[in-house]
Amino acid sequence: MPTERFQFTGEGSHQLAAALELPDGEPRAYALFAHCFTCGKDTLAAKRISVALAAKGIAVLRFDFTGLGSSEGDFANSTFSSNVADLVHAADHLRKVRTAPSILIGHSLGGAAILAAAGRMPEAKAVVTIAAPSDPAHVTGLFSEHLDSIRAQGEVEVSLAGRPFRIKREFLDDIAEQELMKDITGLHKALLVMQSPVDDTVGIDNATKIFVAARHPKSFVSLDHADHLLTKPADALYAADVIAAWASRYIDAAKPAKAMDLAEEPRRVVVQETRKSKFNQAITVGPHHLVADEPIAAGGEDAGPGPYDFLLAGLGACTSMTMRLYADRKSLPLDRVTVTLKHSKIYAKDCAECETRDGMLDQIERDIAIDGALDAEQRKKLMEIADKCPVHRTLTSEIRIVTKAVD
C-alpha cells in the first residue's frame, strides 16, 4: 500500500510534515489521525492503526503537530488551541487535494483535540477517541511539579518520556480555558470511545465522562490489557479492526459509476512526482488515485504499473467495454470478455501490411477471450466491434499532442 509524504501549511504558516496512508484501490473513506501529546505521526500506535485502516480501504492522514517530528515551528509556542487549528488546516488540505475526512481519530490528548475540532469539519460523520482525557488540562499532570515554576517564570524546560520540552505559561492559560464537555455535548456526530481499564496515564473515568456527555449514536469499546500508548501490535490492530467495522455504518462507501455514464467533459489526468523513488508518480483522475512506477529492472521499485502498462490497460478496458455495450444492445448471451495485451518493438520490414518499411515499429498484441453460448457469427461480429472501441481508433489515427509550459 502506498504512503504519500508531503507538507501542508498549519497554524502560524508553519509547514507541517504529513503522511497519507492509502489503500491499494480507491479509498472507501478518508480519516484524519491526531497523535498524542509530544508524540508524532510515526509513533507505533499512529502508524500501525493508519496502515491497518488503509488495508481495509480507509485512507488515513497523520501529521506532526507544530514543533514536533519533522514539522516546522517551536513546540514551546504551541498550545492546545493551535493543535486544534492544525487539525482544521489538515482537514482543509485533505478537502482540497483529495476528499475531506469523514472519520476523525484522536489518541490521548489528540483525542481531546479531535473532539474540539470536529465541529469545524462539517463532512466528518464519525469520531473516535483512544485513551483521551475528558479535560485537556489533564495533561498538566505529566509535569505537575513544574506548574508553579512555569507560572512564575513564564517558561520552564520539563522532561517528558525522557525528552526535554519547554512549556510556557500561555500553554497553561490556553488549556485552562477549554470547555471540552460543551464540544462533546454539541458534537452531533457518531462517537466511539476506546479506553483501556488498566491505562495508568489516562484513567478510565475520563472515558466515562466523555461517553456520558455525548449524545447518541455513541459506543464504548474496552481495550483490555492495553497500555496507554498501545505499544503492543495486537492492541493497535484490534483498535483498527473495531474502528473500520464501526465506522462503516456512518460513512458513504465509494459508489462505482455506471458503465453507461459518460462525463459531460473529459476528465483531466494529473500526474505528479512523489519523490518517494526515482520514477514513482501519483496519478489523479477525478476522484480516483493511482500510482505509476517502472519495474525494478528499469530502475524503478515496481510500486505500480508502468506508462505502457497504463496504455495497454486503457486499450484493454475500452475493448471489453465496447464489446459489452454491443452485446447488451443486441441481447447476445455474452458472459465475460477477457483481454490480454502485450507491447513490443518489431522491425518494420517484418510487417507486411505496414506502410513504414525502415527502422522499428511499436506492436500491440491483443488476445480476446469470449465466454458465452455464442455462435460463430456472433463471435465474429464481437471481434469486429473490438476494433471500433474509441481508444483503438485513437491509437490507430493521427494524434496531435499540444504541450505547453504552465506556472
Among 217, 199, 220, which Cα is nearest to 208's?
A: 220
Average pLDDT over residues 82-88: 94
Model pTM above 0.75: no
E strand or H helix that includes residue 270: strand 269-273
The DSSP symbol for 120 reads: G
Q: Mean pLDDT across the chain, nearest whole number?
A: 89
- Owner of C-alpha cell 508518480: 281
Assess contact for 189 and 215: CB atoms under 8 A: no
Assess contact for 327 and 334: CB atoms under 8 A: yes
What does the pLDDT look like over 51-75, one tens digit per residue?
989 988 899 999 999 989 889 988 8
The reported pLDDT for the residue numbered 318 is 95
List the 29-34 sheet strands across, edge first: 3-9, 15-21, 58-63, 29-34, 103-107, 126-130, 190-195, 218-222
The reported pLDDT for the residue numbered 164 is 86
What does the pLDDT look like over 243-253, one tens digit per residue?
999 998 888 64
CATH of domain 3-247: 3.40.50.1820
The reported pLDDT for the residue numbered 252 is 62
Q: So where are the chain's domains?
A: 3-247, 269-395
Question: Which CATH number is 269-395's, of 3.40.50.10540, 1.10.10.60, 3.40.50.11540, 3.30.300.20?
Answer: 3.30.300.20
The confidence band for 37, taking pLDDT boundaries of 50, 70 and 90, is: confident
What does the pLDDT look like over 162-174, one tens digit per residue?
788 888 889 999 9
Average pLDDT over residues 341-354: 83
The reported pLDDT for the residue numbered 262 is 44
The reported pLDDT for the residue numbered 264 is 54
